[in-house]
């Protein structure tokens, strides 16, 4: 028989006080049957909870059960320290569960009983989300609609156009070749090949504001397979959110630049010009890049960065003129 994990016991220790508080005088045997452990295990859990409380707490500041009733084989919580309130899912956690259930729906079609249970669970979560009975933790409510579009694109093997907001609240439009849906336990992600960055990316579905299935067939790409590799990829993406960015409006002749510097996205406008969101090592690096563009640069955002580049250009020109005068 497999040995219970410490995580299993911790979850039971957190759940037991609330369960007993809702059933004063419940028997140890009933508690053991409910938590699927032995009566001896329940007794040990109660003994552990008896000495649980805030750091440096006095004896009367610890979780407490009625000792006399315990001797009679019954449980009654007398001091809860807040553990008598069942833990509730946040709206983000419930939404992640709901979306994961929808992803599993296709896999459960061959098992009517499992499919029915999954559907009931999804309806329960949907009801909780709709009536605000959970703690609010933010998160977009567009994720279910985005999920439906993403699943359709995956089924048809078509390219997607999405409007995405990253962790730094930056909005961008991208075209991606979807690969698969996956969850980290809290959020649902779309793994895809991003055509703007020419690299694999993971997009949190609750940050996808709009999604559209295109007529273009999705191209198969070699993506990182191991969980460790995907975790490293997400870490790099998170680090990228702290890097300075510049939005450059470029003449069509400057396409070479977008192929040589790290770009978050590149969009070709109707007139043939390019709009590129460039990731910089630091602001000085971006200023140097702007100065190197010459007449192929048509515009720069943010304005502060453009002003820095203008000051650097004037300073360099002044130094050049002084050098000529001295010569």
For the chain, give the mean pLDDT: 77
Burial of residue 285, with CB atoms counted within 10 A of its CB: 0-12 exposed, 13-18 middle, 19 or more buried: middle
CA distance 213 to 271: 25
Q: Is there a single domain that holds both residue 178 and residue 115?
A: no
Provide mean pLDDT across the span 295-318: 84
Q: Is there a single domain that holds both residue 230 and residue 211?
A: yes
Prediction pTM value: 0.38
Q: Is residue 304 part of a domain?
A: yes
User: How many domains does the chain fold into?
Assistant: 4
Q: Is there a single domain that holds both residue 233 and residue 147?
A: yes
Q: Is residue 85 part of a domain?
A: no
pLDDT digits over 305-315, tens only?
888 888 887 87
Q: Is there a single domain that holds both residue 98 and residue 185?
A: no
> What is the DSSP code string of 314-327?
HHHHHHHHHHHHH-
pLDDT digits over 201-253, tens only?
888 888 899 999 999 999 988 775 555 555 666 666 655 566 788 899 999 88
Element at 201 (helix H, strand E): strand 199-204
Q: Is residue 86 part of a domain?
A: no
Among 187, 205, 240, give the residue marking a domain's end: 240
Q: Is there a single domain that holds both residue 226 and residue 307?
A: no
DSSP state of 206: G
User: Which candidate, 216, 233, 224, places its Cα nearest to that of 159?
Assistant: 216
pLDDT digits over 250-264, tens only?
998 888 888 788 887
- Helix/strand/coil for 318: helix
Burial of residue 40, with CB atoms counted within 10 A of its CB: 0-12 exposed, 13-18 middle, 19 or more buried: exposed
Residue 126 belongs to domain spanning = 91-131
Q: Is residue 136 part of a domain?
A: no
């Amino acid at each position: 028989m497999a040995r219970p994990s410490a995580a299993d016991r911790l979850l039971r220790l957190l759940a037991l006080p609330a369960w007993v508080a809702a059933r004063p005088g419940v028997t140890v045997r009933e508690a053991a049957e409910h938590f699927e452990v032995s009566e001896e295990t329940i007794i040990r859990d109660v003994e552990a909870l008896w000495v649980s409380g805030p750091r440096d707490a006095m004896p009367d500041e610890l979780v407490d059960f009625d000792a006399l009733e315990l001797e009679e084989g019954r449980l009654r919580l007398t001091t809860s320290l807040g553990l008598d309130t069942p833990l509730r899912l946040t709206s983000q956690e419930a939404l992640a569960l709901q979306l994961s259930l929808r992803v599993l729906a296709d896999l459960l079609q061959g098992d009517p009983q499992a499919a029915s249970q999954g559907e009931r669970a999804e309806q329960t979560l949907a009801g909780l989300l709709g009536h605000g009975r959970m703690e609010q933790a933010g998160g977009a409510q567009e994720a279910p609609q985005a999920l439906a579009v993403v699943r359709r694109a995956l089924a048809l093997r078509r390219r997607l156009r999405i409007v995405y907001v990253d962790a730094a609240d930056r909005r961008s439009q991208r075209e991606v070749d979807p690969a698969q849906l996956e969850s980290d336990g809290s959020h649902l992600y779309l793994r895809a090949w991003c055509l703007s960055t020419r690299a694999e990316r993971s997009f949190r579905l609750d940050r996808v504001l709009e999604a559209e299935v295109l007529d273009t067939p999705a191209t198969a790409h070699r993506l990182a397979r191991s969980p460790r590799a995907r975790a490293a990829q997400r870490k790099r993406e998170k680090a990228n959110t702290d890097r300075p960015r510049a939005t450059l409006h470029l003449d069509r002749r400057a396409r070479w630049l977008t192929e040589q510097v790290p770009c978050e996205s590149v969009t070709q406008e109707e007139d043939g010009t390019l709009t590129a969101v460039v990731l910089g090592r630091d602001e000085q690096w971006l200023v140097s890049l702007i100065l190197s563009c010459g007449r192929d640069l048509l515009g720069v955002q943010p304005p502060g960065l453009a002003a820095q580049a203008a000051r650097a250009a004037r300073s360099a020109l002044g130094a050049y003129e002084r050098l000529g005068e001295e010569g």
